[in-house]
Amino acid sequence: MPVSAKFLPETLHAALGADFFDEVEPARFPKTILRYRNQRWAARVGLDGLSDAEWIAHFARFEPLPGAFQKPLALRYHGHQFRSYNPDLGDGRGFLFAQLRDVEDGRLLDLGTKGSGQTPWSRRGDGRLTLKGGVREILAAEMLEALGVDTSKSFSLIETGEELIRSDEPSPTRSSVLVRLSLSHIRIGTFQRLAYHEDREGIERLTAYVLAQYFPQLAEAERPAEALLRAVTARVAKLAASYMAAGFVHGVLNSDNINVTGESFDYGPWRFAPTWDAGFTAAYFDEIGLYAFGRQPGAIAWCLARLAECLLPLIGLQTAQRIAESYADLMRAAFRERLLFRLGLDSAGEEQDAALAKSFVDFMLASRAPFEQAFFDWRGGLASLARAEKSPAAALYESPFFAPVRAALAPYRASAHAHLDHPYFAGVEPCTMMIDEVERIWDSIARRDDWGPFEEKISQISVLREACSLQA
């Protein structure tokens, strides 16, 4: 059947002009085996009525969606990679396939790809994605969404029948093409490319576009570049706080991986931390721990400073410094908010919220408590005392380390979104996404083509998402 009447395509990115992208041809794959379709989010954009054959036509062969781009757009950008500037970046194995509107709130969204073939920016790469990489991206995005992190959504995964050689995987390995649904694919690196070419007019044009499409309340701002930097600062501060509250390590927080909307995306060597370990790293090649768990807020601040540099000709040094200096306070406030969300508590005031955040983090550091277990056990605060006493980590809550947390929790009550009566919280252990779980899921697929453990994990995450939803 055709797309539904709710489907609202856009082609707004093309209006930026040809200097911002290259039209490209998708790869042609020998096979197209549908492995995952995100029906929940397909309904949000009016594509849930597609048959599997139609889905494959659009998201493996990349036949244009009605009213969308007639040719995919490989986006141009630069960026700092592990603090080294690279002017040869761009969409090297992906492209912007389509833009469309969220049925529920009208937001502009992107459908972008990963593993869809070579582009002018492939830099001798094959433009492909391993099936394992696609599976891992789905698991990361699903888990982060359930934990309340503003993340891209894995929309589609199709196995493509090619054998790929990779140095970090047993090879040959299976191939896939992923489609992700994102709020935007405009990165800090997009601005860096324009600054590199001293394209002030391009920066002004991109600034106006970003404000109009993603910060419409600021579209008529008297000083648009300043308004943009303030808005992005607030968004990326929340991103950093969300990673810390979720125990997530992105692994590669380069400036081309920081979106101007503050939405998390592009999951390569990610990990969830077993405990609150500031030095815990995700990428085997991050030998100095530049993007370790505890360094993520600083890494994001460093990338934000690169955006400020791009906007200096429009806002001046003093204004840029003032805005940059606001990041730390914004991040701490966002972390308090995310901590309360995860614990299912309403704010008791800034001072008390700060005391709770400090005592909780101090406890996690000192006790080495299992990260997700601690949040699970104390969902709802002291209202969950009896449940916490039955936890596998119960002994830790009797230690002196926990006494300040218990005292800090005293004035709090479970909020409406705590959902303590949800069946999820009747269990003893939380849903987790540790690396050994991910490897077991992949092992079942690689050895036996058994997708059962993958589907079971997606089902478990769905229950977690429902239990942690803000909907009362």
Segment 129-133 mean pLDDT? 98
Q: Give the whole-angstrom CA distance, residue 98 versus residue 105.
A: 18
Amino acid in the structure at residue 320:
A
Give per-residue pLDDT as tens, 92-103: 999 999 999 999
Q: How confident is the model at residue 81 (pLDDT cuts 50, 70, 90)?
A: very high
Residue tagged active-site, from 256, 266, 286, 353 = 256
Which of 79, 74, 312, 73 lies closest to 198, judged by CA?
312
**What is residue 72's three-state secondary structure?**
coil
Write down the pLDDT at residue 152.
98
Q: How confident is the model at residue 471 (pLDDT cuts 50, 70, 90)?
A: low
Write down the pLDDT at residue 168.
85
- In contact, 431 and 460? CB cutoff 8 Å: yes
Q: Give yes or no for residue 284 having a pLDDT over 80.
A: yes
- In contact, 346 and 340? CB cutoff 8 Å: yes
Which of 309, 341, 311 lies closest to 417, judged by CA?
341
Q: Give yes or no for residue 174 having a pLDDT over 90.
A: yes
Segment 115-127 mean pLDDT? 96
Q: Give the whole-angstrom CA distance, residue 129 versus residue 116.
A: 8
Write down the pLDDT at residue 472.
43
Q: How confident is the model at residue 4 (pLDDT cuts 50, 70, 90)?
A: confident
Q: Is the pTM of this model over 0.85?
A: yes
Write down the pLDDT at residue 164.
97
Active site residue 266: no
Q: How confident is the model at residue 16 (pLDDT cuts 50, 70, 90)?
A: very high
Q: Give yes or no for residue 1 having a pLDDT over 90.
A: no
In whole numbers, what is the pLDDT of the chain averaged over residues?
97
**What is residue 163's three-state secondary structure?**
strand
Q: How confident is the model at residue 169 (pLDDT cuts 50, 70, 90)?
A: confident
Apex CA 398: angle with CA 395 and CA 399, to 5°? 95
* Torsion angle, alpha carbons of 160, 163, 167, 171, to 10: 120
* Greatest CA separation for the chain: 64
